[in-house]
């Protein structure tokens, strides 16, 4: 539950392998029964995270927030994503938070056949079209890579946006423009000495009513099989070392093995 003293909240991540709406519902029930205040779905090769959360509707009222962490922007357009998100926001009774990110080169180029040469520009152009639509406003944006000129007619409250960011420019942008950032595979040292300073530096350039939010994924395993858990942690985190931004985050933490970020 939320900790008023430190301004913290605890949520449950449903993982990347949810294969059916029944599985999503069962996991949401588990999160609610365990006393978590929010429930998050990663967007990988399982169910579509936004559509799946929409299927929860207004059930599981013990969950104050449901969200995605994260929807990759490549392969989408702001209008299509905004339609889907505002529909889901209507269905969930205004509980939805949208976590988005550019993904990585392997996803964009390897799976989609799209250029990943300018992810920062792509994110800025995409959000310039997406943000007003999620706030119920018209979008009129001409970017270097994406243009958006549309207005939606979907009844829904505004949707908060969290941007997955590890680079200084992307973090400063998230702090200045959006509700905050969502992080995976980052430890406390990295968050306090690197993520937060850049995020709040961006926030200081504008007038904000609240500080930007930092949502960090922490992988936790309670087990009596220490060796097996460590082996699973190494398997889960091994591919992060092949992604430059995550490899750099591991270095910031002072670790050689990203699996050491798991709490076992």
| CATH number, domain with residue 102 | 3.20.20.30
Look at residue 181 and tell me if it is in a domain: no
Host H or E run for residue 72: strand 71-72
Q: Write the CB contacts of 176 (distance below 8 Å, at least 6 apart in sequence).
A: 202, 203, 205, 206
Distance CA 203, CA 65 (A): 23
Would you state the structure tokens that stand for residue 125, as one six-digit string? 């152009």
pLDDT of amino acid 4: 44
Q: In this model, does residue 242 exceed pLDDT 90? A: no
Q: How many domains does the chain have?
A: 1
Cα 11 → chain centroid: 13
Q: 45: closest CA among 16, 20, 71, 86?
A: 16
- Provide the domain limits for residue 81: 11-164
Say what the pTM is: 0.93
Would you state the structure tokens that stand for residue 197, as one six-digit string? 């300073």
Look at residue 137 and tell me if it is in a domain: yes
Look at residue 197 and tell me if it is in a domain: no
In this predicted model, what pLDDT tens digit does every residue of 99-143 receive, in sequence order? 999 998 989 999 999 999 999 999 999 999 999 999 999 999 999
Q: 198: closest CA among 163, 177, 174, 162?
A: 174
pLDDT of amino acid 3: 42
């Amino acid at each position: 539950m939320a900790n008023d003293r430190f301004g913290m909240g605890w949520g449950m991540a449903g993982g990347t392998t949810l294969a059916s709406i029944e599985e999503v519902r069962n996991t949401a029930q588990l999160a609610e029964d365990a006393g978590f205040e929010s429930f998050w779905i990663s967007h990988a090769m399982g169910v579509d995270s936004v559509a799946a959360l929409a299927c929860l509707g207004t059930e599981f009222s013990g969950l104050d927030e449901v969200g995605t962490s994260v929807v990759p922007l490549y392969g989408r357009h702001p209008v299509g994503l905004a339609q889907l998100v505002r529909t889901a926001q209507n269905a969930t009774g205004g509980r939805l938070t949208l976590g988005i990110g550019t993904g990585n080169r392997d996803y964009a180029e390897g799976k989609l056949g799209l250029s990943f040469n300018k992810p920062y520009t792509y994110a800025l152009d995409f959000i310039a079209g997406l943000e007003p639509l999620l706030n119920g406003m018209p979008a009129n944006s001409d970017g270097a890579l994406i243009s958006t000129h549309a207005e939606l007619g979907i009844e829904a409250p505004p949707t908060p946006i969290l941007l997955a960011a590890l680079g200084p420019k992307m973090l400063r942008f998230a702090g200045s423009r959006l509700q905050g950032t969502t992080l995976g595979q980052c430890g406390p040292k990295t968050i306090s000495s690197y993520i937060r300073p850049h995020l709040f530096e961006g926030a200081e350039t504008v007038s904000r009513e609240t500080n930007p939010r930092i949502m960090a994924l922490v992988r936790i395993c309670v087990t009596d099989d220490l060796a097996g858990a460590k082996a699973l942690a190494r398997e889960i985190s091994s591919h992060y070392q092949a992604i430059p931004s995550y490899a750099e985050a591991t270095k910031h933490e002072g670790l050689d093995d990203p699996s050491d970020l798991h709490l076992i």
